[in-house]
Amino acid sequence: MPRIAIFASGNGSNAENLFHYFSQHKIAEISLIICNNLQAGILARAQNLGIPVLLIHKNSLYQQNVVENWLISLKIDWIVLAGFLWKIPEKLIALYPKKIVNIHPSLLPKYGGKGMYGMRVHEAVIAAGETESGISIHFVNEAYDEGAIIFQARCPIEMDETADSLARKIHQLEYEHFPKVLASLF
């Protein structure tokens, strides 16, 4: 079974959803969660689910080889970014070519790039008066949110839509599609 490391910075609801789907369908094992935020909700989720966590600071990702060493020693096959807000360094992309997948809460190339994450994306989409939004699942390359797109799903934006209500719709799309799209790649 492929061994997965999930990188996450926030609440971790996608990570938990992936865990349940992969366990239930015996598709992959989530062997490690890498987190860069001591306040992140993912930490309590990981503890409840019994998944080991590596808490990192900037140096361990960019300057040292801490992350690579853990990934190699745990025989990680795939990296999944589920709400991870730091840029993935080139050395990691070289180590895992076409094996790092990100989910982004907009229809890329719209509303992607540095600083575009989570609620900021939904606020920008609403402010621009868009009539639809969606999710993008893509391979990770050296540029934020610019790797090859694997899958997109759309949802309409209603007249009275708020960033909060859009975030809920987007999360539903993510829960439905992200596990299946990943399963199709493994």
What residues are labeled active site? 104
Minimum Å gap between C-beta 9 and ligand GAR is 8
Residue type for position 47: Q
Q: Does 18 bind ligand GAR (CB under 6 A)?
A: no
For residue 179, state whether it binds ligand GAR (rule: CB under 6 A): no
Contact flag: residue 12 with ligand GAR (CB under 6 A): yes
For ligand GAR, the closer CB: 8 or 157: 8
Work out whether 122 is an interface residue with ligand GAR (CB under 6 A).
no
Of 170, 173, 179, 182, the one binding ligand GAR (CB under 6 A) is 170
Contact predicate 97/108, CB 8 Å: no
Is residue 105 involved in binding ligand GAR (CB under 6 A)? yes
**DSSP result, 7-32:** EE-S--HHHHHHHHHHHHHT--EEEE
Instruction: Sketch the per residue contact string, 20 through 39, with ligand GAR: x for CB under 6 A, - otherwise.
Output: --------------------
Of 31-39, 51-59, 100-108, 155-163, the segment contacting ligand GAR by CB under 6 A is 100-108
The rounded distance, in Å, linking the Cα atoms of 182 and 186 is: 6
Indicate left, alpha or beta for 79 from its phi (over 0: left) and psi (-120 to 50: alpha): beta
Which residue number, 71 or 88, has a Cβ lying nearer to ligand GAR?
88
Residue 21's contacts (CB-CB under 8 Å, 6 or more residues apart) are 27, 179, 180, 183
Q: Where do we find the tokens 């019994």?
A: 50
- CA 49/CA 142 separation, integer angstroms: 32
Count other C-beta atoms under 10 Å from residue 134's C-beta. Answer: 21
Instruction: Closer to ligand GAR by CB, 72 or 119: give it.
Output: 119
Closest approach of ligand GAR to the CB of residue 2, in Å: 20
Q: Find the distance separating the first CA and the last CA of the chain, reported in whole Å.
A: 9
CB of 114 to ligand GAR, least distance (A): 9
Question: What residues make contact with ligand GAR under the rule CB under 6 A?
Answer: 8, 10-14, 82-83, 103-105, 117-118, 121, 170-171, 174
